[in-house]
Chains A and B, each alone.
Chain A
Amino acid sequence: MSLRIVVAVKYVPDATGDRHFAEDLTTDRDAVDGLLSELDEYAVEQALQIAEEADDAEITVLTVGPEDAKDALRKALSMGADQAVHVEDDALHGTDALGTSLVLAKAIEHTGYDLVVCGMASTDGTMGVLPAMLAERLGVPQVTLLSEVKVEDGKVTGRRDGDAASEQLEAQLPAVVSVTDQSGEARYPSFKGIMAAKKKKVESLDLSDLGIEEDEVGLAGAWTKVDSAAERPARTAGTIVTDEGEGGKQLAAFLAEQKFI
């Protein structure tokens, strides 16, 4: 039977643009172009590599987001994913990570899966909690933050590189994994892939399709709330170290303090 891989991806504001919050302290999506979160490109890449190794595999790329989030799906389809699922509903506006994990879990169950692949975090919220929440919601093992991942004999294995040690991990499928930006450069969409993407199926779902009540999601249903947001102040002048014989040590101490060394 075909290995069913679902890649959960996020459509995020372009970090090179001028990003702001809207009045309700959610992301202002009108002010800046969006794109497929760069960290999710690694997830798509690993899914593609797993699929290429498998005899028979099908990759569904899934996102929860506004109309324009289709761009993120299209990018993943251009890279080589087979089909896409887009959950879009006005009631989703302002949904937090917990609510998003509910919607994703329902959509993944709707699609059917053996393996869910996520990026390590989004490039906008950067919480990095979704893979774990998703595994809990689905009731399956989670193997997160992998820098190497493989699927063999009904198991997913991978390497997680920590500060002090590298762990070799394994879980039975079905499972949720997340991959880091060390897992391997994401491929560029080929022109053939770009042309083929427009013919691939994108299924649109709303909350009622997934049996989710409106009050479970959205700003009102969120368990976390943004009270206030302020622009980060402009950078202040750096620290100047004057070398009076101890300059080298002071620089080393600074670097150690900042965890660069």
Chain B
Amino acid sequence: MSGSALPSFDPSDPLGLDELLSDEDLAVRDTVRRWAADRVLPRIAEWYERGELPGIRELARELGALGALGMSLTGYGCAGASAVQYGLACLELEAADSGIRSLVSVQGSLAMYAIHRFGSEEQKQEWLPRMAAGEVIGCFGLTEPDHGSDPAGMTTYAKRDGTDWVLTGRKMWITNGSVAGVAVVWARTDDGIRGFVVPTDAPGFSAPEIRHKWSLRASVTSELVMDDVRLPADAVLPEVTGLRGPLSCLSHARYGIVWGSMGAARSCFEAALDYAKSREQFGRPIGAFQLTQAKLADMAVELHKGILLAHHLGRRMDAGRLRPEQVSFGKLNNVREAIEICRTARTILGANGISLEYPVMRHATNLESVLTYEGTVEMHQLVLGKALTSLDAFR
């Protein structure tokens, strides 16, 4: 084989992974990348510093117009995109900020996915088209103040009263909660854990915002307080009973995080590479020093391995062959590596690494949440440990 026939080395795609993508995949990626560059990047540092996402409703409508909300679902105004395309969108959104990706993950993979998969036809018709358009924001209530990794212990309870349900309890760390028009809330009933579609204007429902976060500052995080919220019989998601319901939604959302985390990592890597080539110390660019090059090489290796892993899982999901343990594998690896890449990038940027003028510290602090939410690193290790040994270490 002649050397001249080899494609040139692309520092932004050293493994040539773009060749795995179709023209449509690339078009989806370019659209999201451009939207994020136009609409998020110019203002994200300000939002982050203020700890607000002031234009969230407008952003949601714009994401809806793109087709990014519930994008891999079919019908009801959803785009019907592939899992790989959904993943690419997550990566591009998180390259802007994990908070924006979280908005989309929770809307599409948790709230909409739950209704789409387990809802009645009436529930789907009522909520999905408006959620796909970004007119209604959704949230997903599973975690409670005292029940995180072990949701089976939840205390939120839905009591039958005639044909009605009466819902009481608290949910914690709920993305989109305070701006949501609809909440999918999981509660204990006399017949096991059930999901409820709760309009957030229902009497007794409130969603105070959680302040004082040092991570995901450009994201709305809330508590859901349900105090005798009376719901009609048809508020329950009819098609599922038990934890299988929320866990399958989480598996879908985690899949998006496998891709998304690599977006945050890419953003930090790019910042570090750029900085290493332009910042001079001891009379030359710091990128010329072996210690910096070792960092850059290791970052690039983990970044693109992670993207390759995400792509592999995406193809399995599109083929209907993706197991939850494989999602755990991906989430465990990619978020852990992403945060390591961001921390290493921080060291390359020196003091500038802590400034909001660069994306690095913002991504690194965001990933502290991503490392924990939708299954902590430790839970994914336990899931894999159990799958490998057939010995259950946590139940």
B81 touches A195 (CB 8 A): yes
B contact residues, total (Cβ < 8 Å): 16
Known: A74-B23, A188-B66. A194 touches B34 (CB 8 A): no
Q: Is the CB–CB distance between B79 and A195 below 8 Å?
A: yes
**How many angstroms from the CA of A191 to the CA of B14 in the assembled complex?**
27
B85 within 8 A of A: yes
Which residues 1-53 of B have a CB within 8 angstroms of A? 23-24, 27-28, 31, 34-35
- Contact status of A194 and B35, CB under 8 A, knowing A74-B23, A188-B66: no
Within 8 A of A (CB), among B244-271: none
Name which of B31, B65, B81 has the most chain A CB atoms within 10 A of its CB.
B31
| Cα separation A189 to B29 with both chains bound (whole Å) | 11
The verdict on B71 contacting chain A, using a C-beta distance below 8 Å, is: yes
When distances are taken between beta carbons in the complex, the residues of chain A under 8 Å from B151 are: none
A235 at the interface (CB under 8 A from B): no
User: Chain B nearest CB: distance from A97 CB in Å?
Assistant: 29
Chain B residues with CB under 8 A of A195: 24, 79-81
Instruction: Let me know if B23 and A191 touch, CB within 8 A.
Output: no
Whether A191 contacts B35 by the Cβ 8 Å rule is: no
Q: Which residues of A contact B24 (CB under 8 A)?
A: 194-195, 198
| Measured CA separation A75–B34 after assembly (Å) | 13
**Is there contact, CB below 8 Å, between A192 and B27?**
no
A189 & B35 in contact (Cβ 8 Å cutoff): no
Is A204 interfacial (CB 8 A cutoff)? no
Report B68-90 CB contacts with A as 1/0, cut-off 8 Å: 10010000000111000100000
How many Å from the CB of A28 to the closest CB on chain B? 14
Complex contact A189–B27 (CB within 8 A): yes
Q: Which residues of B contact A75 (CB under 8 A)?
A: 27
Does chain A have a CB within 8 A of B67?
Answer: yes
Interface residues of B (CB under 8 A from A): 23-24, 27-28, 31, 34-35, 65-68, 71, 79-81, 85
A sample of 9 inter-chain contacts (CB < 8 A) reads: A74-B27, A75-B27, A78-B27, A78-B31, A189-B27, A192-B67, A192-B79, A194-B28, A194-B31
- 20 extra A-B contacts, CB within 8 A, seeds A189-B27, A195-B81: A75-B27, A78-B31, A188-B31, A188-B34, A188-B35, A188-B66, A190-B31, A190-B65, A190-B66, A190-B67, A190-B79, A191-B68, A191-B79, A191-B81, A191-B85, A192-B80, A195-B24, A195-B79, A197-B27, A198-B23
A residues near B, CB below 8 A? 71, 74-75, 78, 187-195, 197-198
